[in-house]
Amino acid sequence: MSALVSDFQFPWAAGWYFSQAVRAGDVIVTAGQAGFDDDGRVVGDDFESQLRQAFRNLDRVLRTQGSSLDGVMRLNTYLSHQSQDEGFKRIRGEFLTPPYPASTAVIVGFVFPGMLCEIEAIAVRGGVRERDAR
């Protein structure tokens, strides 16, 4: 099976040598998405603004591949501090609906100064999460 690499790239990401998404069949794997605007600037110095932008960026990347946040099956979240956990859970609920994807959140340091969070996903093209009725 071939992997199809997305042609979509945020303007600021040129020269960083990575793909925003790779698709194999109907499975889409994204690069980490952070709180950057189209010019590559961090959207604010607060965690919540950055996380909301990261979710908007993730949705945008997934839509280029025929999916959306509804198709996310796995979400990995990287936070810069433990105190962000409650805000993360609240904001995740603004962008994702039940049943929620499998999820992991860890505390890390970031390469870019001022960056406070990053999210990456595995999604299904045209997919929607549903409860198992069994």
Determine the Cα–Cα distance for residues 116 and 28; give it in Å rounded to an integer: 25
What is the pLDDT, as a whole number, of residue 13?
Answer: 66
Give the separation between CA 68 and CA 80, rounded to whole angstroms. Answer: 26
CB 49 within 8 A of CB 43: yes
Question: Is pLDDT above 70 for 8?
Answer: no
Coil, strand or helix at 125: coil
Q: Are strands 117-124 and 27-30 parallel, antiparallel or unpaired?
A: antiparallel
pLDDT of amino acid 39 = 85
**pLDDT at position 104, please?**
96
pLDDT tens per residue, range 18-63: 788 999 999 999 999 999 998 888 998 999 999 999 999 999 999 9
Q: What is the number of residues in the chain?
A: 134
Fold entry, domain 4-124? 60s Ribosomal Protein L30; Chain: A; (3.30.1330)
